[in-house]
Amino acid sequence: MKPKFPSVTIGLDLGDKKHAICVLNSAGEIIDERSITNNRDSLRRLSQKYPGSRMAMEVGSHSPWISRFFKALGHEVFVANPRKLRAIYTSNRKSDQSDAYMIARLARVDPTLLSPIQHSTEEAQRDLLQVKLRDNLVRQRVDIISSIRFTLKSMGVMVASPNTACFAIRCRKNLAGVDPRLLAMCDPSLRVVDELTKSIRELERRIEELAASHPLL
């Protein structure tokens, strides 16, 4: 019994500005090969040209929303695990277009070769984004505090190590009695620490509310 291939399979190599696409018919022949811009209008036009087609792409920064976008338009969508995918094929002439072609070929023959993953829902992604943004702000605050400490240490001024959230207050108090000129120089950075701390507390409040409303997460 001959295997049944989809009438149209589309491989996409996603990029920030453009996506390389390769479209195969049921016989595995290339019927369309080009680049499209990275916006919903271009993706919608591709969908309208090949309705109900099988779509395949690698995991990337744009794959969550693009995969959801195509699924909502009625396509069969596979998001490939890049580590598994690269283990299957290598190319001496790597390009976005050749990657799109290879993804399309694998998706047409056997989608399981892509070791497909399942992206979370948009709501879950938004929830997780708050945690990631909070962690990013914490790292920024640590970097600024470390820079201030190093600068002051090079001037022979040691600042105590209080809780990170209280660093700006303690630093101002110490410098006010030791070297007001140093305080004036450090104050712009300390103001940034103040704003970061305020934003971190707000995100922590939202995360606590989220945890309370989703006890099983």
DSSP one-letter string for 130-163: HHHHHHHHHHHHHHHHHHHHHHHHHTT-------
Q: Are residues 68 and 140 in the same domain?
A: no
Mean pLDDT of the chain: 88
pTM of the prediction?
0.72
Summarised one tens digit per residue, pLDDT across range 11-69 is 999 999 999 999 999 999 999 999 999 999 999 999 999 999 999 999 999 999 999 99
Q: Are 24 and 8 a contacting pair, CB within 8 Å?
A: yes
Q: Are residues 72 and 166 in the same domain?
A: no
Q: Are residues 209 and 129 in the same domain?
A: yes
The CATH number of the domain where 105 resides is what? 3.30.420.40
Query: Domain boundary at 114, 136, 164, which?
Result: 114
Q: Are residues 94 and 133 in the same domain?
A: no
pLDDT over 70 percentage in the chain: 91
User: 89 lies in a domain?
Assistant: yes
pLDDT at 1 over 60: no
Count of domains for the chain: 2
Query: Domain boundary at 73, 98, 114, which?
Result: 114
Mean pLDDT in residue range 148-158 = 85
- What range defines the domain where residue 82 resides? 8-114
